[in-house]
Every structure is written in structure tokens, then in C-alpha cells.
Structure 1
């Protein structure tokens, strides 16, 4: 099985924290769609069409800036080129783009999962994030979404913002839960160096919250959502049983995926299953429109040792964890003595469960990045 990721590079404005590739000028949307169709058709009868496609994900950027007709044309092209055994087709959308007719058009085109970028309902935080939508638009779009034909949807929240209080975060969660979402992605704000936020932090104009504050935010998110029957299954992802994201699970489980569009990344196992490659298109719309997709960046070659390290890091970010048996059979990997001691210490501290299945506990997932760095450098 494999997945397709479609990168739609258009945004109305730049969010302060975002380091994904995007452009704010939208006059080339149809030109982009036409070029994307050419890229899709170029994959016909290649090794990428041998695996049945299980998931399609429209990310960005802001995919909801495309019309339902444009989305349908992309899906029609995919249907003619790839062998499909689809379980999930997700499209990211912003609240200010959503209407009843728009959702109906997307559903008719084949989209069966909506991903709504709410982030917060707090007007001051929305302004800080430089989001294009208002709190009122977020509430209105969730009402439309809840009443729509989309029975599978997810919403995003961001916590750990400068100046964000626990009471403000709790209000965000309570407001969101009124709409009975089956899935929520809740991310701790990350300061990326090249973003507007990163530059303000570097200049000392903004101070990120203390680690203890972010930890308290994490605890509140996990506890509130768990009480509502929405279980954490990955560091930043929560779902009612059976509503976990299929496409994102592909990434964590090292399933083949092909990226299409400017800046899109791909990962594909070699035929011998002893190595894999990762590559990306250039993150440049102008280049892409002149068939830049025919000139992807030189692939990164990954041997089993590098893949085992990746699988360990990705797997331990999930509640399920990763099994020693899989690491041995698929990657020929076994923990060294230092890693065994590290895992033993984590278990004694209540941060991990060890045995055949290695799993981080709630306390471990809270500091997963630190734990994983320590573990792979042993």
C-alpha cells in the first residue's frame, strides 16, 4: 500500500509560526492545477503506480483555496493513473473558506475527510498567529461541518502560545468539544527560525512560555480530551476509537508515499526492502510551473540502520509504540547495552513500558523528543 500527498502552495497570508512552503499571490492557481495534472500523468506506468494507493492527502498551504471543480480534476487524474484502494481522502481547509455549498462540492468530488485549521478561538491569539480567519468564522464553519455529510473530520489546536493561560486553553477545548469532533490534532507551538515568530523571538520581542507552562498545557489537553472519549494515540493526535488518521499513520509506519506539487516530499522503499530513498520537489512555484517537478532534488539514500533509527523515533511518538520483533525482522536492529539501560531507567521513572513492545507513557510522550534523542545517540 502507498499514500499520495498533494501540496497546494497558496495562502491568503503568512501565519506567524508556519515554515511550510507557500505563496500569497493566487493568480496562478489554475496554472498550478494544470501543471499538477501533468505531474500526475507523468507517473503513469512507473514503479509508483504498482502499489495500490490507500490514502490521499491535500495539504499546504491552504488547499481550500481551490474550487471543488479543481479538486475533482486532480482526483480524476489520480484515478486514471494509479491503482486505488482508497480508505481516506483528506483536504485541509481554513474556516474562512468554508460554506455549506463548498463542503457539498468537496464531498461530491470524492473528499471524505475534512481537516479544519481552527488553532484557537481566542481573538488575541488569532491575531498573534496572524491567522486569516476570525473566532466567529471558526464557530460558524464548525456548525456547518458538524451538520454536513462529513462524518469523518479533524480540527487543529495550538497550545503553548506566549501569554496563553490554562483557562484560555480550557475554553478553546470546551468550545471545540461542543461540535463532537471525532479527531483532534493539538500541537505545541514550535518556534522555527525562518518564520515571522522565529525572528521576533530572536530579537527578544517575544518570549516563549516556560517548559513547565507548556507541560501544564499538554496535561490539560490530554486529560480534557480523554474525559471526552478522545484518546491520545500519538504525541499530537487524539481520536475516538476508529477515527485515527490513516494517512499520517503511513508516515509513522514507513509506508511508501509519493509527494506531488512544489516542495512535496516522497519516501519509497527500494525493491530489495533493504534500503529506501527520500526526496522532494523544489519549493518554488515558478520553477514548478516550468516542469520543475521533472528535476527533483537528489534523493537521500537510507540504509537499514538509518531506517531503524527513524522507525524507532516515529514509532515511540505513538501510544502503540514499536515492537522489538518488528525492529529485528524488518530492520535487523537490536538495542545496544546503553539503550537497554536507558529504557530501564525510563521504565523506573514511569516514562516508558518495556518488554516486547516498547511504549512511552503519558509522562514519556510529554518529553518524547528529548527521550528519543537520548535513545538514538546511545
Structure 2
């Protein structure tokens, strides 16, 4: 089974923290949709269409800037070109784009899951992030999602913001929990160098919170959502049972996926390991160049690279990773030093005890990247 990711690059304005590829010029939307459909059709009769597609994800950017007619045309092209056996079709949306009629149209098109960027309900934080929506629009959108017939949806929050208090985060969590969301994605604010936020931090105008403060924020998110019946299943993702994100889980399990649209990445297994490639992060080039010229050089990934990547992704999840998967799929076995280190982390409460599965505790997942780095440098 494989997945398809479609990158819709349009945004109304630039969020201060975002380093994804986007453009604020929306006049190219019709041209873009036509070109995206051409890219979909370019995969006709290739090996990539032989494998059933389990999930489709419209990301961005802001996919909800496309109307339902455009989304319907894209979906028709996907159905015509690929073997769709979808368990989930997700569309990211911003609260200011949403109406009851639009949500109804999305359901008619075949969208089954909404991913909404709330980030915060605090006006001052929304202004700091330069979000296009306000608190009232976020509340109205959540109300609509609850009443329109979406079986599942996710809402994003960002914590660890400069000046954000524990009490303020608690209030954001309580507001969100009052809507009984099936899924929550909660991210620690990351300062990326080429963003507005990154430049302000570099100039000393903004001071990011101390690590201890961010750690306290993380603990609060984990504990409060668990109390509400939305336990953590990946470092940044929380779900009621049965509402885990199918598409994102396929990334973490190293399943095949195609990325369509500017800046989109693809990953596909082959006889030597796996190959990763991406489209250029350039809308004008995407609209004007030959499709083959848009696809940047493929990177051949070795079994060792893949094993280390799988460890990184797997250790971030509640289910972890089976040792026999590392051996059978990646030809990767833990050595004595690595096993001793893991045993030590079990004693510290960071790893879960067990002979067949590598799995971090909730406390361990807080420092998953650090633990992974220790493990792979011992190989």
C-alpha cells in the first residue's frame, strides 16, 4: 500500500514560524490545478500506479484556498490514474476559509478527514504567529466540524511560544477539549533560520523560552490530553482509539509515497533499498518546465541509512519498532553496546522493558531525538 501527498502552495499570508514552501500570490490557482492534474496523469502506466493507494493528503500551504470544484477535478484524475483503496483522504484547512457549505462540498468530493490549523485561541499569540484567522473563526470552525458529518478531524496547537504561560496553554487545551476532538497535533515552536521568527531571534528581538519551560509545556499537553481520552501515540500526535492519522503513520512506517506539486517529496522502495526525490520549490518552474525537469535528482538510500531513519521515526511512536523488522527489512542488528545502553535507559524509565520491541516511555519520547543519536553513534 502507498500514499499520495499533494502540496498546494498558496497562502493568504506568511506565518512567522513557517519554513514550508508557499506563495502568497493566488492568481495562479487555475493554472496550478491544471498542471497538478497533468503531473498526476504523468504517472499513468508506471510502477507507481500498480500499488494500491491507502491514503491521500492535501497539504501546503493552504489547500482550503482551492474550491471544491478544483478539488473534485484533482480527485477525478487520481481515481483515473491510480488504484485507490483509500482508508483516509485528508485536507488541511485554515479556519478563515471554512463554511458549512464548503465542508459539505468537501464530503461530497470524498474528503474524509480535516486537519485544521488552530495553533492557539489567544489573540496575542495568533498575532505573534501572523495567522490569518482569529479566535472566533477557530471556535466557529470547530463547531462546524463537529456538526457537519466529518467522522474524524484533527486540530493543531503550538506550544513553547515566547511569553506563553502554562496557564495560557492550559486554557488553550481546555477550549480545544471542550469540542471533544478525535485527534490533536501539538508541536513545540521551532525557530527556523529563514523565517520571520528566525530573523527576529537572530537579531535579539525575541527570546525563545528556556528548555525547562518547553518541557513543562510538553508534560502538560501529554497529561491533559491523556486525561481527556486523547493519548499520545507519536511525539507530536494524540488520538482517540481508531482516529490515528493513517497517512502520517505510513511515513513513520517507511511505506511508499508519491509527492505531487512544487516542493513535494517522494519515497519508494527498490531492490537496492529505497529512493527519495523531490520537486523543485518553485511554482513558476512547476507551471512552465517539463515535468521530468521538475523532479530533482534521486537519492539512493542504503539499508543502513534506512535503518537509522526507521529507528528515528519508530522511536517517536507509541508502538515503537520490532527488532525483527530491523533485521529482516534493513539487515540491522543491535550490538552489545547499543543493547547495554537501552538496558540502562529501561532502568531510568526512558525505555519500556521488552525483548522483541524497542519502545520509549512517555518520558523517553520527550528526548527521543537525543536517545536515537546516542544509539546510532554506537553502531
Give the 3-state SS of the residue equivalent to 1:154 in structure 2. Answer: strand
Show the counterpart of 1:357: 357
Equivalent residues of 1:161, 1:209 under 8 A apart: yes
Aligned-residue offset at 1:301: 0.5
Structure 2 CA distance for aligned equivalents of residues 33 and 268 of structure 1: 25
Aligned-residue offset at 1:372: 1.3
Aligned-residue offset at 1:341: 2.2
Show the counterpart of 1:166: 166
Alignment of 1:341 onto 2:348: no
Aligned-residue offset at 1:114: 0.4
Q: Which runs of 5+ in 2 are unaligned?
A: none
Aligned-residue offset at 1:50: 0.7
- How do residues 210-289 of structure 1 correspond to structure 2 at under 5 angstroms? 210-270=210-270, 272=271, 274-289=272-287
Structure 2 CA distance for aligned equivalents of residues 130 and 377 of structure 1: 40
Aligned-residue offset at 1:175: 0.3
- How do residues 180-219 of structure 1 correspond to structure 2 at under 5 angstroms? 180-219=180-219
Aligned-residue offset at 1:293: 3.4
Structure 1 CA distance for aligned equivalents of residues 132 and 290 of structure 2: 30
The superposition leaves residues 93-123 of structure 1 with CA deviations (integer Å, 9 ceiling, x where unpaired) of 0000000001011110110100010000000
Aligned length: 376
Residue range with higher mean Cα deviation, 13-22 or 288-297 = 288-297
Show the counterpart of 1:329: 328
Structure 2 CA distance for aligned equivalents of residues 213 and 376 of structure 1: 28
**Runs ≥4 in structure 1, deviation > 3 angstroms?**
none
Aligned-residue offset at 1:338: 2.3
Q: Which runs of 5+ in 1 are unaligned?
A: none
Aligned-residue offset at 1:342: 1.9
Structure 1 CA distance for aligned equivalents of residues 337 and 203 of structure 2: 40
Scaled by the length of structure 1, what TM-score is found? 0.98
The superposition leaves residues 234-255 of structure 1 with CA deviations (integer Å, 9 ceiling, x where unpaired) of 0000000010000000100010
Structure 2 CA distance for aligned equivalents of residues 164 and 367 of structure 1: 21
Show the counterpart of 2:316: 317
Structure 2 CA distance for aligned equivalents of residues 167 and 349 of structure 1: 30
Structure 2 CA distance for aligned equivalents of residues 294 and 165 of structure 1: 49
Equivalent residues of 1:90, 1:111 under 8 A apart: yes
Scaled by the length of structure 2, what TM-score is found? 0.98
Structure 1 CA distance for aligned equivalents of residues 124 and 215 of structure 2: 22
Structure 1 CA distance for aligned equivalents of residues 173 and 352 of structure 2: 29
Structure 2 CA distance for aligned equivalents of residues 188 and 377 of structure 1: 26
Give the 3-state SS of the residue equivalent to 1:309 in structure 2. Answer: helix
- How do residues 142-181 of structure 1 correspond to structure 2 at under 5 angstroms? 142-181=142-181
Show the counterpart of 1:294: 292
Show the counterpart of 1:64: 64
The superposition leaves residues 208-248 of structure 1 with CA deviations (integer Å, 9 ceiling, x where unpaired) of 11111011001100110000100100000000001000000
Aligned-residue offset at 1:292: 4.9
Structure 2 CA distance for aligned equivalents of residues 111 and 151 of structure 1: 10
Show the counterpart of 2:98: 98
Show the counterpart of 1:83: 83
Show the counterpart of 2:121: 121
Aligned-residue offset at 1:368: 1.1
The superposition leaves residues 145-197 of structure 1 with CA deviations (integer Å, 9 ceiling, x where unpaired) of 11111121000000000100000000001000111110000001111111111
Structure 1 CA distance for aligned equivalents of residues 370 and 193 of structure 2: 19
